[in-house]
Structure 1
């Protein structure tokens, strides 16, 4: 029962953190509040949750990475693929080498392979943490797409480096050729698993639904299980389950574009996934907070091996490692950007030269999170000979410190760096949206004309159908700007005005229905049906 109490306390902490962060006088990032609440829970219950890294990876990461891969804009992902790969591959290797030697120099008692393992696991940024920061910081859209793409792909690079650094610490042997081959298998095998699982499940579900029918909640449940299936299949093949979950999400976005899912299924599925995302995001950071007291205590015990290491030097070293990671990221981003601009100019292309503040913002946005925490906890407890794994508790402490410092620096620094920064807008997106609305409205009007013409002479109430067709046609002609004068700017003003009037009318409907229920002139069953219809319409305008 105590475990159930801790789980319930964690969920309450996630709920309460959303209210608490709004009550604080200054802008504190939500993940930091959740970490603090997690540490409080650990203090109240006397201990935190015993965290199994493999279970943690399986329960939390697949659905969140699947959702990020599903919802990330694919146009931006493929447009900036060169920049994303530079960050996801080159920057991780650069960070492992630079931070690894620095950590070994700062903490001589930590062997070099262990220092490289720590550098490898803190190198990847975390998509969940990046999304949490982006929710409160106005990051430019294109930069956000790049950061999301980087964080989705750099996990494989970091985990491969981590795996081979740990193997070197355990055996004293390292093979670059084996590392390269393993990386290729992890990446390609994981991506192939994700694509194959999603495509196969979608095909089977479609065929079974057409022939046998299906329960209303079945498609949503299947959708929730896909990332776990992709992750487990990839891990069973010794490939990257993380990349499999991401690839499954990207594939799911293309499956969804086939338009075979019912509208009600898409609405309900979006609500379910939003709830899952909110709960898992919060619980992950609460779990990190619950681990902190034990991590700090074990790190202090481990630090006593070196007489020069005091709690203050321990904290100073953690801060130095965190700042070094930001500096390494800054150097890599600036150098790669200059090389990209130079290459474009040599080919005679005109390219936008970003303000240096944008480079600094990219460096500060390298937020670490759950993948770093779960990965570092997989460090072995002992060497093959039975001796304790050297520097394990220190490595876990420094990784936890990097997560917290990166969250604090991003939440404090990004708003100040980005304030007043002018970034070229992606104007094509607005024009693309206007064009799509225009073409869709024309197609809708043509379909109305065809349907109305087909019913002439077949229905007794011809005038009723003609009136209904005119009403629906009028809605789409309104979208076209009053029947021919298509002015996107005036149309957006009209849509905003319509939205306000619609919301006011829907609220009045809801109030009237609730008044009838309170007066016992309307049954609660009928009221729920009518309120559900109003809620669906309101969701469209909200």
Structure 2
């Protein structure tokens, strides 16, 4: 069976997993189902997929990171930026040091530098798995935003630490000053490339559209290629390609607020990106499952690297490593929360102590994913002197085990921790949505009156547009009076259809402009603006 056939079976497994997770009599996270299907594929074909880490990073990471950066609520990200940075930077360094010494203590056969490399590669968290679990567990929105922001940034910091640890193994030493300067360049260069490339590509596409028109799929295709362009340029100049993809996505969310894209383009683009996200997320977990049998065989064959002959010691080490990572994360989260509470006590609005179940849930939600597996597979086979890389197969096995065990622990523990936990309702998003709807409705009424006066040329036009305007205005007046809108039988007067269509389009455009203006001035969050604009776009698509 060739690689193309295996790839098609993987896509089929992703499709099947979406239905299988719904028909199972018990709740199971989608990633675990996909990993299981990947293992079935691996056992069904004699020839598996040879995972090439560089190709994996290029094909899968840019679009997924770009989309996460695009869709993450920016108000929540910037509001809790200090917390996100504590987790994405401070916790990563704390995990690398703490878990590195723990792994070396547990398995003395693993050199300390190699243990640091393993700790670094398992430090990044994976939002995809947590999002899948969140679909069936009431994770608070603010906590979900923090976890998403952490995962966007800790990929870069974790992989940078991994790179330095591997360099220490292969060269026998490491300069901290050089490492610090490299990290600064990776961060600044990656963010600069992501922002600059996205702005340049968006402005070029807008200029071409205004001067030469555009095919309906052109802006969507450009949008799909943007993360790859930012990723490749950053990689070429030695900056962080991961941060470039994330920065490109965040920049795209602000480019979107310009409102230059057509409504149909936004609707079709959202559908395309939803399909791409579901497919790529599924394939990476199916691919993980497909790799597991071979990883297990290699680990069993090299169990002597751990200093034991019984393969069951592998399970002990996997459980101990996963438990140690959880304990380190719990200690960091607990300490950070208490430091934050002590700091806010000096202000006029001290914070209340979070429920212990929420603290444990935050620690348990640190699920590892396929970035960890792809990165650990980049470990070199040999050292510069020709000797084999120390404990390579064992390190790969432990990294894969942490992925699986963290997924299982979160899928079992999070529902029990968060179900029944009383949390304050998020009333602020509803208030700002109501405010945005009112502002948009007022703008729509003004646009209707302007359009009505512009088109009413003859007495017949005046009567027709007055009748159409009264029906359209009634819809927005009900919005302003908090009454639920009812169906409007616009087809009752065929001669008024065209007039009503023009007025509706004018009103919808005014609504959209008003919401974009509110978002630009940060009067509403971009998440609320995106939701309302999508509703308007869907309404407009009925009249185009």
Counterpart CA distance in 2 for 1:459 and 1:329 is 74
**Contact in 1 for aligned 2:29/2:411 (Cα 8 Å):** yes
Alpha-carbon distance in structure 2 between the residues aligned to 1:305 and 1:88: 32
Deviation of the 1:454 alpha carbon: 2.2
Q: Would you say the 8 A contact 2:305–2:391 is kept in 1?
A: no
- Measured in 1, the distance between the counterparts of 2:334 and 2:18 equals 36
The 5 Å alignment of 1:176-255 reads 176-255=176-255
1:453 aligns with 2:462: no
After the TM superposition, which residues 212-361 of structure 1 pair with which residues of structure 2 at under 5 Å, given as runs?
A: 212-361=212-361
**8 Å contact from structure 2 (residues 455, 461) kept in 1:** no
Contact 1:198 1:248 in 2 (8 A): yes
TM superposition shift of 1:447: 0.8
Q: Shift of residue 156 of structure 1?
A: 1.5
- 1:96-127 CA deviation, whole Å, 9 max, x = no partner? 01100111111111111111000001001122
Deviation per CA, 1:150-194: give whole Å up to 9, x if none.
000111211111011101111110111111111111111111110
Q: Give 1:456 shift.
A: 2.8
Q: 1:306 to 1:356 in 2, by over 3 A?
A: closer
Determine if contact 2:198/2:226 at 8 Å carries over to the other structure: yes
1:155–1:305 CA distance, 2 compared to 1 (3 A): closer
The equivalent residue for 1:374 is 374
SS of match in other structure, 2:420: coil
Any stretches of 5+ residues in structure 2 without a counterpart? 491-536
C-alpha distance in 1, partners of 2:380/2:175?
20
User: Which has the larger displacement, 42-51 or 90-99?
Assistant: 42-51
- Measure the CA separation in 2 of the matches of 1:178 and 1:158: 17
CA drift of 1:134 comes to 2.1
Per-residue CA deviations over 1:408-450 (Å, capped at 9, x if unaligned) read 1111100110111122233221110001100100110011011
Give the aligned length.
Answer: 496
Judged with a 3 Å threshold, the aligned counterparts in structure 2 of structure 1 residues 428 and 385 are, in CA distance, closer, same or farther, namely same
The answer for the alignment partner of 2:509 in structure 1 is none
Do the aligned residues in 2 keep the contact of 1:137 with 1:411 (CA within 8 Å)? no
Q: Deviations over 1:353-397 (max 9, x none)?
A: 211111101000001101101110111110001111011111110
Paired residue for 2:528? none
Checking the alignment, whether the CA contact within 8 Å between 1:65 and 1:127 is kept in structure 2 is: no
Offset, 1:458: 4.8
Question: How far, CA to CA, are the matches of 1:385 and 1:138 in structure 2?
Answer: 53
Q: Once the 2 structures are TM-superposed, how far is the Cα of residue 85 of structure 1 from its aligned partner? A: 0.5
Distance 1:410 1:498 in 2: 45
Preserved CA contact (<8 Å) 2:126 2:367: yes
Q: Deviations over 1:325-355 (max 9, x none)?
A: 1111000000011001001112343223211
1:4 corresponds in structure 2 to 4
Check 1:132–1:539 CA distance in 2 against 1; reply closer, same or farther (3 A cut).
Answer: farther
Aligned to 2:109: 109
Deviation at 1:478, TM superposition (A): 1.5
Q: Is 1:157–2:157 an aligned residue pair?
A: yes
Partner Cα separation in structure 2 for residue 498 and residue 42 of structure 1 = 54
| TM score, norm. by length of structure 1 | 0.89
Q: Which residue of 2 aligns with 1:32?
A: 32
Q: Is the 8 A contact 1:64 1:128 kept in 2?
A: no
Q: Which residue of 2 aligns with 1:389?
A: 389
Task: From the superposition, tell whether residues 415 and 193 of structure 1 become closer, same or farther in structure 2 (CA, over 3 Å).
Answer: same
What per-residue deviation string (whole Å, max 9, x for no partner) do you get for residues 500-519 of structure 1?
x99xxxxxxxxxxxxxxxxx
Q: Is the 8 A contact 1:156 1:242 kept in 2?
A: yes
Match of 1:508 in 2: none
Task: Return the offset for 1:306.
Answer: 4.4
The 1:387–1:254 alpha-carbon spacing in structure 2 relative to 1, beyond 3 Å, is same
Alignment CA distance shift 1:282-1:273 (3 Å): same
Please give the per-residue CA displacement for 1:251-280, whole angstroms capped at 9, x wherever unaligned: 000001100000000000000000000100
TM-score, scaled relative to structure 2: 0.88
Question: How far, CA to CA, are the matches of 2:310 and 2:459 in structure 1?
Answer: 88
Partner Cα distance (2:215, 2:540) in 1: 26
- Shift in Å, 1:465: 1.6
Map 1:523-538 → 2, pairs under 5 A: none
CA distance in 1, matches of 2:309, 2:148: 38
Shift of 1:498: 6.4
The answer on 1:412 being equivalent to 2:412 is yes
Shift of 1:537: 5.7
Kindly indicate whether the alpha-carbon contact (under 8 Å) linking 1:160 and 1:179 is maintained by their aligned counterparts in 2.
no
Q: Is the 8 A contact 2:125 2:367 kept in 1?
A: yes
| Contact 1:156–1:183 under 8 Å retained in 2 | no
Question: How big is the shift at 1:318?
Answer: 0.3
